[in-house]
Structure 1
Amino acid sequence: MLLKQLTKGLDFTLVQGDLHTEVSGIYYDSRKVTANGLFVCIVGTQRDSHEYAADVARAGASVVVIQHDLPAEVLAAMPEVTVLRFESTRYALAMLSTAFYGRPAREMTMIGVTGTKGKTTTTHMIKAVLEAAGHSVGMIGTNGVYYPGHHYDLNNTTPESCELQKILRQLVDAGCDTCVMEVSSQGIMMDRVAGIHYKVGVFTNLYPDHIGPGEHSSFEEYRSWKGELFKRCDVGVVNADDPNTEALLDGHTCELITYGIEHPADYRADREYRLLRTKEMLGVAFRLTEPDGHSMDVQVGMPGLFSIYNALATIGVAKALGLPDAPIHEGLQKALVKGRVELVPISRRFTILIDYAHNEAATESLLETLRAYHPHRMVVVFGCGGNRSKLRRYGMGEVCAKMADFCILTEDNNRFEKVEDILADIKVGMAKGNPNAPYVEIPDRLDALHYAIDHAQEGDLIAVIGKGHEAYRDRQGVKTPFLERELIEEYAAEKGIE
């Protein structure tokens, strides 16, 4: 593709070279540049890739995009390379990539979900409802990329812009008519989603997060970047109960649909709801009132109050898209997020589930939700990751000692630490939470899973937390296969558990 086609409508300065230069690919990693590639120099928090301009020229790059001047000797050393200067190379990367991949977002209904908590679950719920309505759906987020017949992991919730545009092209080429994606505040701030307009934007909730060096300077800045989504969509589906909603929507340009429980909203759930527990499901049922006063009963195949909020957001999206009630009901009952309050239905005597909770706040929220189901015993199998903050270990230990009836301490991804040292830190937190809390230490996680199953009592609820959807175990930097759902199912089958 010619550079002239990629830059149409963009503001830039031609420093040297020719806009009729051929471009075979777009890169921001200097190690990946190939012949006739276009390299975008990014000014990062750790490194300025303008330093690699000469290197990528030697590797065969035909175009280099810069944000600030290159030394004269560097320009002189690459006379055959076309050089463009943009005010922001992150924005340039997004817009050039959008053009290179043929503006794929315009060929699908784009749905973006932002917020601190609930993004992953809500995107899965929306995907399930859309598929029940007959749509072919692609999904991008924390758990990776999904489209019919395919799944692979990502490094970031919202990928870098050129990777994102490549993924969107994959979805279109695979026949997807809709894309549901998590939109992080950093994804917006760093122009990863520049050039994408959403049919529907969703706001779940807001809590202090991602504030510090290399992220956001303040909570207000964090909130402001979240709010940018509602200047880039046609319809905003927002949580009327979150105290930050009004400030977050400052300057919004979209039509609004609200949902909630405590405050007036277009789609409102009754405060009273029912908890559902079977071998195959921990769920919740509630009554929904719509804008015209019509009400209907809704059942969600995931537990707790937060699942009601996620379901309300999903219903708001479905209604904004004009979907009928039947696929909404079907999708909400079937929706499943791997590794997030995921039941492993091996027994009618007890319930065992896996969850990604790996810090104090997530663990407390999960156990509070599960406690509402009044189990005979609340059993927690957990550890903490190695080479990470000890505060997480103290916090999880304290919460589990307070809220669980029995704890099974074991490894997580120990990385380069000894499991015994990690468990010792966890026990410091447990002593603070409840010095009399009963527990057992089983360093090998597979042995810990077997112990939990072997010693399960009638009516127990066993939460295996920390790894969730992860499919590996990290010991001394070596990752080996370890998918908890499969290991639990295999052991149950071996033992003949029903």
Structure 2
Amino acid sequence: MQLASIVKELEYESVQGDLAKEITGVACDSREVLPGNLFVAISGFTSDGHKYVGEAVKRGAAAVIVEREAVSSDATVTMIQVKNARLALAKVSAHFYQYPSEKLNMIGITGTNGKTSTAYFLQSILEATGKSTGIIGTIGTLINGELLETKNTTPESLQLQQFFSEMEKRGVSDCVMEVSSHAIDLKRTAYTTFHTGVFTNLSPDHLELHKSMDEYFHVKAKLFDQTYGFNVINMDDPYGQKLVEKVRGKEPAVVTYGLNPTADIYASDIDYSFEGTTYMVNTPTGNFKAKVNLPGEIYVYNSLAAAAAAYCSNISFEVIQQGLKNVAGIKGRLETVYSSGDYKVVVDFCHTEDALEKALKTIRPYVKGKLILVFGVYADESESGREKRSGMARVAATYADLSVVTSDNPKHHDPKLIIREISQEMKANGGNYHAFLHRKEAIEYAVRVSNEDDVILIAGKGHETTQIVGDQEIPFNEKEIVMEALRAKEKRVKL
């Protein structure tokens, strides 16, 4: 594809070199540059692509997009300077792959909690219609049953456009995508067209990036400026109500959902059990009974969001009903990894105050013995990080009989400081707790002190099978650790 065609609609500051050259591909990682590629130098959280312009040129880049002047030893390389390289990357990537999102039925899901389970409920409904469906989110990217690992909940714009293009080639008709606030703020979803946007809820998270809940909300709300069909919004959430006021009257139709009968689509006659939930889905054109194989109110909301989005796509009640029922469970979402009578070990991805509270309140009614919680908090040393640690500690002290405080993904943060601050808040709120620096030891302790009627909730990592310490990603499979701890406990009992 001609470089002149790729950059035609870019607002660039200057151009040095020839635009009449053929481009073989786009790259934003210098290590992935191939001869004839267009390299876009973007600034990340830990590295700056401008430092690697020379390496990209050595690898054969034919052109480079930068935000500030960068020197190339090769005069034949075209240098294009723009104000925002991330926005430029999204634009040139979409153009190079010929705007593949426009050829898919794109459904974007955003909110603090519930994005993954809503996405998997919706994928199951779409597949129940016989459609080939792709999914992009926290657990990875799924194309025709093939799971591809991705680093972020919502990948970089270049990788997104590559995934959309691959889906189109493989005959995928519908793509369900989790849309994180980071992705919106960092322009990863720019030039992606969505038929439907879904809003789940909003609670404090990522405030190290967004600084305030108001800013966090306004970033999330940007997704609903990229839709052309429907905006499906949780009307029971205060920020959902605020979003309805913001987007109502615009071209995409607003469809609300919730437990309150004032919503367009609402749940009633809810019957909860630890094995799952049944409820009545009420719509403007009729109602039907839904069965969800996951416990608690949060999964009523998430499955109802999926049902509402499917309703907007004119999918029949029978198919929606079957699609919801087909979801046997979702990896790392209130997933029971061991069960024997009333004794259970459950893992969940909950890593915010709101999500942790919902998980504990969901499990609490079914616990005959003690509810034991293993948790840590990944949060930086900022004021918002301290607030998050305090909030999660207060929830733990309130709802768990015993909390085992430990690390999550400490990355470059000081785990001893984080654990100390959580412990101080636990003590201040009268919580019963023990603290362990190493997460494996914390899980082993929880198993060791548990009894036959107890339920252990291991919170924070869910589906993840690694732990990030510093720059290292260390293998860490909580299910395997649980099973090893149970075997060790059984041996001690026999002795």
Check whether TM > 0.5.
Answer: yes
CA contact (8 A) 2:333 2:349 kept: yes
Q: Which stretches in structure 2 are left out of the alignment for 5+ residues?
A: none
Aligned to 1:38: 38
Return the letter of the residue paired with 1:290: T
- Mean CA deviation greater in 121-130 or 488-497: 488-497
CA contact (8 A) 1:21 1:82 kept: no
* 2-structure distance, mates of 1:172, 1:202: 22
Superposition TM-score, scaled by structure 1 size: 0.84
Please state whether the residue corresponding to 2:150 is helix, strand or coil.
Answer: coil
Match status 1:379 vs 2:376: no
Percentage of matched positions with identical amino acids: 35
Choose which of 223, 230, 237 in structure 2 pairs with 1:235: 230
The superposition leaves residues 205-225 of structure 1 with CA deviations (integer Å, 9 ceiling, x where unpaired) of 23344345xx33654443333
* 2-structure distance, mates of 1:78, 1:446: 52
Shift of 1:94: 1.2
* 1-structure distance, mates of 2:469, 2:46: 28
Aligned to 2:273: 276
Match status 1:308 vs 2:300: yes
Superposition TM-score, scaled by structure 2 size: 0.84
Please state whether the residue corresponding to 2:289 is helix, strand or coil.
Answer: strand
- Mean CA deviation greater in 30-39 or 89-98: 30-39
Match status 1:344 vs 2:337: yes
Match status 1:156 vs 2:148: no
The superposition leaves residues 381-411 of structure 1 with CA deviations (integer Å, 9 ceiling, x where unpaired) of 3345698656655554443232212334556
Q: 1:412 to 1:42 in 2, by over 3 A?
A: closer
Q: 1:106 to 1:412 in 2, by over 3 A?
A: closer
Shift of 1:226: 2.4
Matched residue count = 483
Aligned to 2:321: 329
The superposition leaves residues 142-197 of structure 1 with CA deviations (integer Å, 9 ceiling, x where unpaired) of 22222234323333222221111112223333432211101223423332122221
* 2-structure distance, mates of 1:250, 1:165: 29
* 2-structure distance, mates of 1:27, 1:101: 13
The superposition leaves residues 402-432 of structure 1 with CA deviations (integer Å, 9 ceiling, x where unpaired) of 2212334556456689987765554323221
Aligned to 2:351: 358
Choose which of 258, 263, 266 in structure 2 pairs with 1:265: 263
Choose which of 236, 243, 246 in structure 1 pairs with 2:244: 246
* 2-structure distance, mates of 1:442, 1:191: 39
CA contact (8 A) 2:13 2:83 kept: no
Give me the CA root mean square deviation.
Answer: 3.5
CA contact (8 A) 2:407 2:437 kept: yes
The superposition leaves residues 102-143 of structure 1 with CA deviations (integer Å, 9 ceiling, x where unpaired) of 332233211111122221221121112222332222211222
Aligned to 1:19: 19
* 1-structure distance, mates of 2:197, 2:257: 13
The superposition leaves residues 326-383 of structure 1 with CA deviations (integer Å, 9 ceiling, x where unpaired) of 3322332343332121122532232321012335443223212322445443222334
Choose which of 185, 199, 205 in structure 2 pairs with 1:203: 199
Match status 1:100 vs 2:92: no
Choose which of 451, 460, 464 in structure 1 pairs with 2:454: 460
Q: Which stretches in structure 1 are left out of the alignment for 5+ residues?
A: none
CA contact (8 A) 1:240 1:263 kept: no
Shift of 1:477: 6.4
